[in-house]
Structure 1
Amino acid sequence: MDVLDLKVKPDDKGILPRIWWCPTGPFAFLPIHAAGVYEGNNSECLSDYAISSYTPTLDALLASPPPKVNEPRMLAVIQPEIPGDRRLDLPLTVKELGMIERHVPKKWLTGLGTKEEPTSVGRVLSLLPDASFVHFACHGSQNLVNPLESALLLGDGDLKVSKIMQTPIQNASLAFLSACETAMGDEKVPDEAIHLAGTMLFAGFRGVVGTMWSMHDEDGPEVVDVFYNHIFGTGGELHPDSTRAAEALHLAVNRLRTEKKASFQRWVPFIHFGL
């Protein structure tokens, strides 16, 4: 921090400086954004001084800014019940969808996963081409041998990354993967971004939020509430800006850490990739 000269106060708008991390080798598994001294009541960490994002490659930062559209579309997909194994149910994803509905104008939002609008792979793929924002609150599965076979687990089957990449999403802007371990890499090839979050970047999304390890179901709604409030506001901005996603996630996680007194294991997993 001293070398980067980042021990400074926020600017006039209260915004902290931004850092993009491009870790390689064993560093790819470290939560650099949470590096700090955790002793007693005077603990401090990197998040106190800067807003962190990650990037799998430097080229990814050269992508064109997200397109601004007159009518942004958001697709929010939840999977509260897991067929065949109710022990894996995610009941609080319903609350998570409610938080999204609080901040995203109804005319812009399509929500799937309720009894009225059940989730299916086919339905999601049919709606993706028109989406600029996507949010998945479900379980994920990583295929370390073939990353394109990694998938988000929906009610009637697996939504594979390969299918997403084959789908033209003209206005792809931001993807929020509120699922476990969506940004966890493979120790055998640490320099390759083969996790779900990385492949979503390669699928065309300029920014992606993922998790480094298992998240607590109850933390999803808390993070989502602050996150989308910052991007959309309470009434929906005319042009919500997905490039504020890193800042929005920083604020959401900081609230989880300071106000909710969440443990280290609970607030650290949430990370942002891309622009």
Structure 2
Amino acid sequence: MLTEVSDLSTEFQSLSKEFGSFDTQHKLVRILRKLWHDIVDPVVQALGASSVHPGSRIWWCPTAEFTLLPLHAAGPYEKKRDSLPHIYISSYTPTLATLVRARQQVSRDASPQYFVAIGQGNPDGGKPLQCVAPELAMVAQRLAPIVSSFTSLEDSDATVEAAVDVLNRNQWLHLACHGMPNRKRPFESSFAMRDGPLMIKDIIRSDWQSPEFAFLSACHTTVGDEKSPDESIHLAAAMQFSGFRSVIGSMWSVDDEVAQEVVSAFYRNLVDGSGRLDCTRAAMALHKAVKTLRRNNVPLEQQIVFVHIGV
């Protein structure tokens, strides 16, 4: 079984590098079907036998080669509504300890909500991102009237030092930029700012006060190390290790238009009945946002690229 999982993981990692270049959907469906039949369906059957009703939230805590596989998207894909996303709302956690710690933290209903949106479309030595400015404008339009304080840091202002400074003063974060995993030195994985990389080690050292939520609208924010997946510290997990209770990240490159569509639908559903942001609604909000992608016939690999980590 271990050999089969390793082979499947290697096959998927190779396929994910081809997403967007030509029609890879039939290969992806074959992998998702194998994940379903060999791994996920037995879990679903056990959950059903334990009276975990459809529509419930479930958490995956993968190890080793499983960390590189899209368990949240498994399914037979023989009918329109037969995959895991139609049955349960999936989240991930890098360790059970981080999930327990995040669930023990309780948001204060009346506490101020400080939100920062950081966008870097012209990073040092990196490919320009045309989608950053409109994405940040969309986030500001939707959230600025709701939160206690909304800060936007963009382009020339989005430097490493400035990013660390605003992160220390906000509990809610939207980050639109390039994500750069370092497979050999995971703590040097980073986000691309105007003057250089904002590294995981900088994030972990930051003195954030009760951080709640981070949306990482960046390429490859949950990619681990293929050679030592058990030791992988990806960017999204680093946010949870740093104290963020809930994080959204992407498993591979995201299409600009898809990212904007998901972001818009996501934040619309993150607001609770009292008009406040609620980080415990993040998995459900992403689940609903992805539904809009399915209705709009977005390619399958873009429908399943975003994942939720945490509470």
Same fold (TM over 0.5): yes
Specify which structure has the bigger relative contact order, considering alpha-carbon pairs within 8 angstroms and separated by 6 or more residues: 1
Matches within 5 A, 1:205-220: 205-220=244-259
How far does the alpha carbon of each residue in 1:82-132 deviate from its partner, in whole angstroms, 9 at most, with x for none? 4555xx2211122211221122125521111157xx311111111111211
* 2:308 equivalent to 1:268: no
Measured in 2, the distance between the counterparts of 1:42 and 1:70 equals 43
Deviation sequence 1:215-269 (CA, Å, 0-9, x none): 1121111111111111137xx955421011111111111211x222111111111
Q: Given the alignment, which residue of 217, 221, 224 partners 2:263?
A: 224
Tell me the distance in 2 between the aligned counterparts of 1:183 and 1:253.
Answer: 18
Q: Does 1:65 align with 2:108?
A: no
Aligned equivalent of 1:246: 283
Preserved CA contact (<8 Å) 1:79 1:93: yes
Deviations 1:113-165 (CA, angstroms, capped at 9, x unpaired)? 157xx311111111111211111110011122222211100111111111121
Post-superposition offset of 1:196: 0.7
Is the 8 Å Cα contact of residues 183 and 212 (structure 1) preserved in structure 2?
yes
Using the size of structure 1 for normalisation, the TM-score is 0.88
Amino acid of the structure 1 residue aligned with 2:280:
T
Identity percentage of aligned residues: 40
User: For residues 263 and 49 of structure 1, what CA distance do their matches in structure 2 show?
Assistant: 20
Q: Calculate the TM-score normalised by the size of structure 2.
A: 0.78
Q: 1:47 aligns with which of 85, 104, 112?
A: 85
Whole-angstrom distance in 2 between the partners of 1:91 and 1:192: 34
Is 1:34 paired with 2:108?
no
For the residue of structure 1 that corresponds to 2:230, the secondary structure is: coil
After superposition, the Cα gap between the structure-2 partners of 1:145 and 1:114, relative to the gap in structure 1 and judged at 3 Å, is closer
Structure 1 pair 214–230 and aligned structure 2 pair: CA distance change class (3 A): same
Stretches of structure 1 lacking an aligned partner (at least 5 in a row)? 11-15
Instruction: Indicate whether 1:79 and 2:120 are aligned.
Output: yes
Structure 2 unaligned runs (5+)?
1-43
**What is the identity, as a one-letter code, of the residue corresponding to 1:28?**
T
* Alignment partner of 2:58 out of 3, 11, 19: 19
How many angstroms apart in 2 are the aligned matches of 1:161 and 1:250? 27
SS, match of residue 218 in structure 2? coil
Shift of 1:66: 4.7
- The alpha-carbon deviation at position 173 of structure 1 amounts to 0.7
Amino acid at match of 1:17: S
